[in-house]
Structure 1
């Protein structure tokens, strides 16, 4: 009976989960590039030292404000070629047509290194 009630609850919540990610814009390249430049300017790491093929991108939130303008919050995990990792959260405005409506606010959440 417990499995049946859990299944019914999940079935009832399916429309909520389906509507949770109705983001029309996938504008991760602008904040990702700006986060890399921010880390370089802050003296955290040089861009050529990053392995962009390993960069992890997660859209944490996208809130529609008005007139097709969205506030996007991304989490990036940048991997350096020497094994270090840098977790950065970004916040910026984007629209259905333009990813770079505003500047990008970048926040370094963590920096880690593998010490063998």
Structure 2
């Protein structure tokens, strides 16, 4: 979804107004959605796997708390990927409300097995 700079500014203004000014906590005690961007790509790829995930999160005015890229082929199960423990730590510690990932790396398996 392509937004103009004016539309982005308006959305940011609405989000700030809803939270009583800049910050992450809404007046009713509901925090803005915090997400971790997670992608997996082969080691020698020049792809920018986080760009579409970042666009998706920013279009919803979500707060990105971390960006993780596992350098492994997509075929490697999530349970065997090096950054899985860090991803689980974000979830278990309550530092994130969700994970934004591509359909390729999320539809075949669940984060926890």
Classify the TM-score, shorter chain: under 0.3
Larger Rg: 1
TM-score by length of 2: 0.26
Higher relative contact order (CA 8 A, sep 6+): 2
Query: Structure 1 length normalisation: TM-score?
Result: 0.26
